[in-house]
A and B are shown apart, each in its own frame.
Chain A
C-alpha cells in the first residue's frame, strides 16, 4: 500500500450530507475485475450529463457545468471537503478506488459511514473527522478563496490551513502506523498465525459443527 505521511493540496467541495457510495461510483462500473481505472467515473451521475457506461471514452461525454468538481478552480484538487455521513450505503471498495483514481488523498467530513471509513485506510486514502462547525468554516473559506490549499500532516495529526492555523484530528494508532509506513495488514496479521491456529484448534474442539460442513 502507498504510504501517507504529509500532503498538501487544493481543497474541493462535495457539499451535501449522506453521500452514498452509489453516488460516488455507480454500479455499472463495478463490473470491472480490476482495482484501477475508476477515476473518470467518480461521481459519474453528477459529473456528466449522460449515463456513463464502462469502457467508454469518458473524455468525449457531456460535462455537467454546474458540478463543482468540473470547475477550473478545483482541477487537480486532492483534498475533498464533505458533509455528514459521507460514504454511506454499499460496502464497495470501488468508492475509495474512484476517489483515489481521481487524485484525492484525504477527505474531511464531520462523520463517515463505518465501512467506507475502513476501506479508505486500506487504500492509502485518509478520512479525517473534524467537528461540524470546523468543517463549515473550511467550506466557507474554500469558497471564498480560489486555490485554497490545505496541508494534512498524519504524523502530527493536524490539518493546517493557509493562515497557518492547525486543526487537530484523531486517528486510531494501528491505522496511523499502517498508513505512515504503507504496510500491508495481511502480512502483519500473519505474524500472529500461531495465535490464530491456537484459537482455531480450541474452537474446533468446542464447536466442531463450524468446521468441514461445506466441502
Chain B
C-alpha cells in the first residue's frame, strides 16, 4: 500500500492504489471493496444468482442493508411494517431483502428499525462508510460517500453479485478531474446550487470516464452534509465517483459515529487518513474552475440536470443553440415541461414541493427549509409539500429540534424516511403535467411520476417556492425575515 515518495498522486490515485489487489495484463484491475451497501431494488437478482451458483458472500461484515426505495412514507401505512405495505409488488421486494439478509447473515436495518433510512444517508451517519474506504452499492448515487474521502460509486446488479461473491470489482482506472470552486458563497447559496452550477457548466456527460475531486476554498468551507450533496450529484455530471479530501471537518463528523473506530484504533485510523488528499502538483487530466461569488440559487427548467439556470434567469430558447442535437433536446424539454422560451423562472407556478432524497434530506437540509418555512404558510395553489427525512436518525433529531412542528404549521406534510417522491416507487408521485420544486437529483421525464415536471432546487429554495406558490429567489425572503 506504500508508494514512492517522489510520485505526486491525486486523492483518487491513492485510493485506487490502496485497493489494488492485482493488475492484469489485459489492462483491467481487481479492486478490493471495503463496504457494500444494498437495498431492496437492485439486490434480489444478485442473491438469486448466488443461490443458483451455490456461492456464499465473501465477507458478510462488509455488507449493510436497508430498504428505502419502496417503503411507504405515509405515517399510517408505515406503522404496519412490511406487512402493512399496501402495494403487493413493493411488499414482496422489501420482504425479499429481509429474507435474503437473514439467509446470508447480513446486517439489515429493517423497515422501522431506528437505523433505517436512505442507504446514502445511513452509510455516513452510522460510520458504516468511512474515509479511505472503497464503497459500492447497486445505486448510482453511491458517489455521495466520496464526501468522506472515500472511493465510492454505483454498480449494476451483476456487479452486486460479483462483489458479494469475491469482495472485488473488475475495474479500469478512470481519469482524474478536479472541479475547483474558489471564493466565498453568497448568503442563501448552498451546496446544491454549487453542484447544479457545476453540472450546468460541464454537462451531464462532462464527467464521463472521470473520477471527480471537488476542491477549492468554497468546497472546503462546506459542512459534511453539503459535501455529500455535491458528491451525490457527481453522477449527474456523468462521473461515477465524486470525492472531497479529508480534513478536520471530515474527522469531526466521523468521530463517535457508531461504526467508527474508537480509542487507539481511532488514532491509528486518523493517522492513516491524514494522507487522503491530492499531493501538491498532482496531475489532473481535466480541471474545471468556478468562482463561488458568481453562483446564484439555481433552478432546473428542463428534463436533464444540465438544463439549469440561476433563479434570476429566463427559460432558454432553442433559437440560441447552434448544435442540432442540443436544439432538438431543448425543444423537446420545453414541450414536456410545458414552458415557453424566454419565460421568467420566477413565473413558473408549482403544484407540489418535495423536500427529501439522498441529495437533500439530512438534518442541515431540513433546518434550512424550516428556517424559510417558519411562521409562514404554503401557498394555496400548492397542493402538497412533502418533507421526507433521509433516515430515522434525521427524523428523530428534527423532531427534537421541533422542525416537524414548523413544517406542519406551514401546511407541509411530515413523513417517514424513504426515497419517496425522488423516484416515485412508493405512493408519493406527481400527477401528469404537475410542476414540482424538488430537492432531489433527477428531473428526467416521468422520474417523479408519469408526465410529472420536476425542477431541481436547494431545500431553502424549495421551501420558498412552497410559500410563494412559484419560484422565488430565497434571498429576498431571507432578507425580509
Per-residue CB proximity of A193-205 to B under 8 Å, as 1/0?
Answer: 1011001101100
Is the C-beta of A189 less than 8 angstroms from some C-beta in chain B? yes
Question: How far is B26's CA from A195's CA once the two chains are assembled, in angstroms?
Answer: 17
Is the C-beta of A113 less than 8 angstroms from some C-beta in chain B? yes
* Contact in complex: B42, A173 (CB < 8 Å): no
Give B90's nearest chain A residue, CB to CB: A31
Rounded to whole Å, the gap between the CB of B201 and the closest CB of chain A is 16
Is the C-beta of B423 less than 8 angstroms from some C-beta in chain A? yes
* Contact in complex: B21, A209 (CB < 8 Å): no
Give chain B interface residues in 228-261, CB to chain A under 8 Å. Answer: 235, 238, 240, 259-261
Pick from B155, B161, B166, B209: contact of A91, CB below 8 A.
Answer: B155
Rounded to whole Å, the gap between the CB of B87 and the closest CB of chain A is 8
Is the C-beta of A144 less than 8 angstroms from some C-beta in chain B? no
Report the stretch among B75-83, B176-184, B290-298, B442-450 that lies at the interface: B442-450
Question: How far is B34's CA from A27's CA once the two chains are assembled, in angstroms?
Answer: 29
Q: What are the residues of chain B within 8 A of A211 when measuring CB–CB? A: 61
Q: What are the residues of chain A within 8 A of B304 when measuring CB–CB? A: 18, 20
* Contact in complex: B162, A186 (CB < 8 Å): yes
Q: What are the residues of chain A within 8 A of B90 when measuring CB–CB? A: 31
Is the C-beta of A6 less than 8 angstroms from some C-beta in chain B? no
Give B24's nearest chain A residue, CB to CB: A174
* Contact in complex: B45, A35 (CB < 8 Å): yes
* Contact in complex: B204, A85 (CB < 8 Å): yes
Is the C-beta of B223 less than 8 angstroms from some C-beta in chain A? no
* Contact in complex: B170, A22 (CB < 8 Å): no
Question: How far is B445's CA from A17's CA once the two chains are assembled, in angstroms?
Answer: 13
* Contact in complex: A83, B45 (CB < 8 Å): no
* Contact in complex: B53, A186 (CB < 8 Å): yes
Pick from A35, A89, A200: contact of B444, CB below 8 A.
Answer: A89
Rounded to whole Å, the gap between the CB of A110 and the closest CB of chain B is 9
* Contact in complex: B162, A189 (CB < 8 Å): yes
Q: What are the residues of chain B within 8 A of A209 when measuring CB–CB? A: 130, 260-261, 265-266, 268-269
Pick from B34, B63, B165: contact of A210, CB below 8 A.
Answer: B34
* Contact in complex: A190, B166 (CB < 8 Å): yes
Report the stretch among B213-221, B323-331, B391-399 that lies at the interface: B323-331
* Contact in complex: B21, A192 (CB < 8 Å): yes
Q: What are the residues of chain A within 8 A of B30 when measuring CB–CB? A: 189, 192, 195-196
Is the C-beta of A115 less than 8 angstroms from some C-beta in chain B? yes
Q: A33-B45, A93-B158 are in contact. Are A196 and B32 (CB under 8 A)?
A: yes
Question: How far is B61's CA from A114's CA once the two chains are assembled, in angstroms?
Answer: 28
Q: What are the residues of chain A within 8 A of B156 when measuring CB–CB? A: 91-93, 96, 115, 118-119, 122
* Contact in complex: B445, A23 (CB < 8 Å): yes
* Contact in complex: B55, A186 (CB < 8 Å): yes
* Contact in complex: B442, A22 (CB < 8 Å): yes
Q: A93-B156, A196-B32 are in contact. Are A45 and B70 (CB under 8 A)?
A: no
Rounded to whole Å, the gap between the CB of A181 and the closest CB of chain B is 14
* Contact in complex: B32, A203 (CB < 8 Å): yes
Question: How far is B443's CA from A21's CA once the two chains are assembled, in angstroms?
Answer: 12
Q: What are the residues of chain A within 8 A of B34 when measuring CB–CB? A: 210
Give B138's nearest chain A residue, CB to CB: A91
Is the C-beta of B22 less than 8 angstroms from some C-beta in chain A? yes
Question: How far is B61's CA from A102's CA once the two chains are assembled, in angstroms?
Answer: 39
* Contact in complex: B1, A33 (CB < 8 Å): no
Pick from A54, A91, A206, A207: contact of B140, CB below 8 A.
Answer: A91
Per-residue CB proximity of B149-163 to A under 8 Å, as 1/0?
Answer: 000011111110110
Pick from A16, A32, A199: contact of B328, CB below 8 A.
Answer: A16
* Contact in complex: B48, A35 (CB < 8 Å): yes
* Contact in complex: B159, A88 (CB < 8 Å): no
Rounded to whole Å, the gap between the CB of B263 and the closest CB of chain A is 11
Pick from B45, B133, B140, B425: contact of A27, CB below 8 A.
Answer: B425
Q: What are the residues of chain B within 8 A of A33 when measuring CB–CB? A: 44-45, 48, 92-93, 96
Per-residue CB proximity of B317-338 to A under 8 Å, as 1/0?
Answer: 0000000011011001000000
Per-residue CB proximity of A91-104 to B under 8 Å, as 1/0?
Answer: 11100100000000
Question: How far is B59's CA from A200's CA once the two chains are assembled, in angstroms?
Answer: 11
Is the C-beta of A78 less than 8 angstroms from some C-beta in chain B? no
Rounded to whole Å, the gap between the CB of A50 and the closest CB of chain B is 9
Per-residue CB proximity of B117-140 to A under 8 Å, as 1/0?
Answer: 000000000011010110000111
* Contact in complex: A196, B158 (CB < 8 Å): no
Is the C-beta of A66 less than 8 angstroms from some C-beta in chain B? no
Pick from B41, B205, B235, B329: contact of A111, CB below 8 A.
Answer: B205
Question: How far is B34's CA from A211's CA once the two chains are assembled, in angstroms?
Answer: 8
* Contact in complex: B209, A114 (CB < 8 Å): yes
* Contact in complex: A210, B133 (CB < 8 Å): yes
Q: Which of A90, A193, A200 has the largest number of chain B CB atoms within 10 A?
A: A90
* Contact in complex: B128, A214 (CB < 8 Å): yes
Q: What are the residues of chain B within 8 A of A27 when measuring CB–CB? A: 423-425, 447
Is the C-beta of B478 less than 8 angstroms from some C-beta in chain A? no
Is the C-beta of B208 less than 8 angstroms from some C-beta in chain A? yes
Pick from B93, B170, B272: contact of A185, CB below 8 A.
Answer: B170
Question: How far is B30's CA from A202's CA once the two chains are assembled, in angstroms?
Answer: 15
Per-residue CB proximity of B1-42 to A under 8 Å, as 1/0?
Answer: 100000000000000000001101011101010100000011
Rounded to whole Å, the gap between the CB of A92 and the closest CB of chain B is 7
* Contact in complex: A30, B1 (CB < 8 Å): no
Rounded to whole Å, the gap between the CB of B19 and the closest CB of chain A is 8
Q: A17-B326, A33-B93 are in contact. Are A111 and B208 (CB under 8 A)?
A: yes
Interface residues, chain A, with chain B CB atoms under 8 Å away: 16-18, 20, 22-23, 26-28, 30-35, 45, 51, 54-55, 83-85, 88-93, 96, 111, 113-115, 118-119, 122-123, 172-174, 177, 184-186, 189-190, 192-193, 195-196, 199-200, 202-203, 206-215
10 contacts between A and B (CB under 8 A): A16-B328, A18-B205, A45-B445, A119-B156, A172-B172, A174-B26, A189-B30, A196-B166, A196-B168, A209-B266
Give 7 new A-B contacts, CB below 8 A, not counting A113-B238, A186-B166, A214-B259. Answer: A20-B444, A33-B93, A35-B45, A88-B238, A92-B41, A172-B27, A214-B61
Interface residues, chain B, with chain A CB atoms under 8 Å away: 1, 21-22, 24, 26-28, 30, 32, 34, 41-42, 44-45, 48, 53, 55, 58-59, 61-64, 69-70, 87, 89-90, 92-93, 96, 107, 127-128, 130, 132-133, 138-140, 153-159, 161-162, 165-168, 170, 172, 204-205, 208-209, 235, 238, 240, 259-261, 265-266, 268-269, 272, 304, 325-326, 328-329, 332, 423-425, 442, 444-447, 450-451
